[in-house]
Structure 1
Amino acid sequence: MTLSRIRINPWQWSVAMGFNQAELVEGATRVLVCSGQTAMSAEGTPQHPGDMAAQVAMSLDNVEAVLAGAGMTLSNVVQMNIYTTDVDGFFAASGSMVERFDRAGVMPASTLLGISRLAFPELMVELEATAVA
């Protein structure tokens, strides 16, 4: 059986924001559940304090590194949880993330949560992905 992804959007407003309400996945043989990825260096040091756009980009870079470790890419992501200490700042900086998912040809189901802080106070965003292949 080949992998199929069916977009479920009873309402269309989320499509304009770059995500589906749900995705029905059939034929998957592997599921990767990623821990939250942040703007952390390979040495475990927070990067880009105060720069939401740079943190979003690096967090997504780190998601891609984890995916690559499992032989996957952004095109395999079916769900993304986004945690941020600044929802408005995230919306202003999220265009690059939407563009990267557009290039991958997917709009994963997503949840955005505003929180008071992350594990390190310098961090403003954390991305948690589920991918299938």
Structure 2
Amino acid sequence: MEKRIINPWTWQNERNYAQAVEVKNVQSSLYVSGQTAIDDNGKSSDADMRTQIIKTFENLEKVILQADFELKNMVRLTVYTTDHPAFFENFDLWQTWITKHGIQQAATVIEVKTLFETLKVEMEATVVK
């Protein structure tokens, strides 16, 4: 698999995402459903945004690794949140997680009116190998 990052500017580098990602010679693609702060028993979290972001990243990571893909090969990450300001108040979690795993992905953050039950954030991803 070949991965090429397209960034006509440099400002997005501070936010740890790419304007576009081109992939060639892909062996396989994984389309990950929206992951949230739901525990192993299917119970939705009613915790604060920071706690839910942490659990959402844990669940996203678990699905990707169980599928035998590498986090660094994520090419797309879409975030849905019910509270855009609260999500960005905790943006350090995003920065740390993305950097830790060497991910360079196209990304979008969208504020929505509601998510399932008490959830505040949901993330879906595309990963290749």
**TM-score bracket for the superposition, by shorter chain length:** over 0.9
CA contact (8 A) 1:53 1:94 kept: no
Quote the Cα distance in structure 2 between the aligned partners of 1:41 and 1:73. Answer: 22
Deviation at 1:50, TM superposition (A): 4.2
Deviation at 1:7, TM superposition (A): 0.8
CA contact (8 A) 1:79 1:108 kept: yes
CA RMSD between the two structures:
1.1
Show the counterpart of 2:21: 23
Show the counterpart of 2:125: 129
Show the counterpart of 1:84: 81
C-alpha deviations, 1:21-77, integer Å up to 9, x for none? 111111211100010000001111112x24111111110110111101211232121
Quote the Cα distance in structure 1 between the aligned partners of 2:114 and 2:48. Answer: 15
CA contact (8 A) 1:20 1:110 kept: yes
Show the counterpart of 2:30: 32
3-state SS of 2:62 partner: helix
Q: What TM-score do you get using the length of structure 2 for normalisation? A: 0.94
CA contact (8 A) 1:56 1:125 kept: yes
Show the counterpart of 1:68: 65
Letter in 2 for 1:123: L
CA contact (8 A) 1:5 1:26 kept: yes
3-state SS of 2:33 partner: coil
Gap runs ≥5 in structure 2: none
Deviation at 1:11, TM superposition (A): 2.2
Quote the Cα distance in structure 2 between the aligned partners of 1:61 and 1:94. Answer: 16
Q: Which runs of 4+ in 1 moved over 2 A?
A: none
Gap runs ≥5 in structure 1: none
Q: Which range moves more in the overlay, 31-40 or 18-27?
A: 18-27
